[in-house]
Amino acid sequence: MAATSLPIGRASILPLPHIYDRVSRHIPAIEWPALADDVAAILELKKTRNAVILAHNYQAPEIFHTVSDIVGDSLALAREAINVDADVIVLAGVHFMAETAKLLNPGKTVLIPDMRAGCSLADSITAADVRGLREKYPGVPIVTYVNTSAAVKAESDVCCTSGNAVDVVRSLNAPRVLMIPDEFLAQNVQVLVPEVEILTWAGHCEVHEQFTPADIREVRESYPGVTVIAHPECPPDVVAEADFSGSTAMMMNFVTQKRPRQVVLVTECSMGDNIAQANPDIEFIKPCNLCPHMKRMSLKNIRHALETLTHEVTVEPELAGRARAAVERMLAVRPR
Ligand code: SF4
């Protein structure tokens, strides 16, 4: 029930009613007072700690719409991290995102509320693996997805995100590139950049690899005319069944600009939830899958992180310098 449609009197007794308005489609009014206590504490702690919260698009609405200062996809968070004017950055996302924020802000304290928030892609490759690839393919540039550890980035020539992977590959002007570690992203980029031979690594996102072409066909049968948008971490045969494919930011832009009547976002579930609040005229159809790593973030552990200044993410300076160079090369690439 939306706050604006609550019976008169009931809405007015809800704490932080102006903030509840932003999440009312997803959080029942009865659950809000307990969450509002943490929201109020976090807003106060942000002031006393001079802290900002960066939240990925896959964060749950009660984090995304209430306490976050900067929201976006990996590319946006990396870009915005450079301009952050604060002593403390809390990363509501996964560990590699916190590392990237630290690389770009070596003098700031970067916190992640739960150190266990990992990523199957980041876990799929090590720095030693990258050195092995360099030996095997001498002279072939290595493009590394940001969903990797700082140690892997440090062995790479340039990073990319799902939002700029095509531009990064084209910017190299090389006949052959290694694109690691997401095999499906690399295969999807290969379709768009046929003039370059793209060598891949067998890493997968555990959330997006679960989708199948049959899922898309089933949803199209059940909802004739539905618009299907797939993240490029999905297998290529899933992307081929979709009407559009792009990063989470590109998905959001597509939905808000094209305004399909019914849409399926073939990605992590919170994406649809986060767009739905501001777009009540669009029906968001499941399926979607949850990322267990992203869902380790909660208002409770964000509050705890700010109260205790834990868990701090650090990167050894020499390694950080090399990893930062790969991220900065990516940020210097302009769309063609
Ligand atoms: S959604 Fe996939 S790529 Fe993103 S953090 Fe989760 S496991 Fe990693």
15: preceding bond cis by omega (within 30 degrees):
no
Question: Looking at ligand 1, which atom is closest to the CA of residue 293?
Answer: 6
Could you tell me the distance, in angstroms and rounded to a whole number, from the CA of residue 206 to the centre of ligand 1?
Answer: 7
In the predicted model, is pLDDT for residue 336 greater than 80? no
**Mutation probe of ligand 1 site: the residue of 96, 121, 231, 296 with most atoms within 8 A of C-beta:** 121
Whole-angstrom distance, CA of residue 47 vs CA of residue 37: 16
- Mean pLDDT over residues 10-25, rounded? 86
In the predicted model, is pLDDT for residue 318 greater than 90? yes
**Mutation probe of ligand 1 site: the residue of 96, 161, 205, 269 with most atoms within 8 A of C-beta:** 205
Question: Looking at ligand 1, which atom is closest to the CA of residue 182?
Answer: 3
Higher per-residue pLDDT: 336 or 128 = 128
Residue 11 is predicted with a pLDDT of 52
Q: pLDDT band for position 55 (50/70/90)?
A: very high
Amino acid at site 246: G
Q: pLDDT band for position 4 (50/70/90)?
A: very low
Q: What is the pLDDT of residues 269-313, one digit of tens each?
A: 999 999 988 899 999 998 889 999 999 999 999 999 999 999 999
In the predicted model, is pLDDT for residue 5 greater than 50? no
In the predicted model, is pLDDT for residue 10 greater than 80? no
What are the two backbone dihedrals, phi and then psi, of residue 56, each rounded to the nearest 5 degrees? -75, 155
Does 121 sit in the ligand 1 pocket, CB within 6 Å? Answer: yes
Q: What is the pLDDT of residues 147-169, one digit of tens each?
A: 999 999 999 999 999 999 999 99
For the chain, give the longest Cα–Cα distance.
70
Nearest CA to ligand 1 atom 8: 119
Reduced to 3 states (helix: H, G, I; strand: E, B; else coil), residue 228 is strand
Could you tell me the distance, in angstroms and rounded to a whole number, from the CA of residue 60 to the centre of ligand 1?
Answer: 14
Whole-angstrom distance, CA of residue 186 vs CA of residue 166: 9
Could you tell me the distance, in angstroms and rounded to a whole number, from the CA of residue 142 to the centre of ligand 1?
Answer: 21
Higher per-residue pLDDT: 10 or 5 = 10
CB 252 within 8 A of CB 275: yes
Does 230 sit in the ligand 1 pocket, CB within 6 Å? Answer: no
Q: What is the pLDDT of residues 183-237, one digit of tens each?
A: 999 999 999 999 999 999 999 999 999 999 999 999 999 999 999 999 999 999 9
**Mutation probe of ligand 1 site: the residue of 120, 265, 268 with most atoms within 8 A of C-beta:** 120
Could you tell me the distance, in angstroms and rounded to a whole number, from the CA of residue 75 to the centre of ligand 1?
Answer: 14
Question: Looking at ligand 1, which atom is closest to the CA of residue 119?
Answer: 8
Distance from first CA to last CA of the chain, Å, rounded? 45
Is 162 annotated as belonging to a binding site?
yes
Q: What is the pLDDT of residues 94-146, one digit of tens each?
A: 999 999 999 999 999 999 999 999 999 999 999 999 999 999 999 999 999 99
Is 56 annotated as belonging to a binding site?
yes
CATH numbers and ranges of domains, the chain = 11-117+294-308 (3.40.50.10800), 120-204 (3.40.50.10800), 208-285 (3.40.50.10800)
Q: pLDDT band for position 268 (50/70/90)?
A: very high
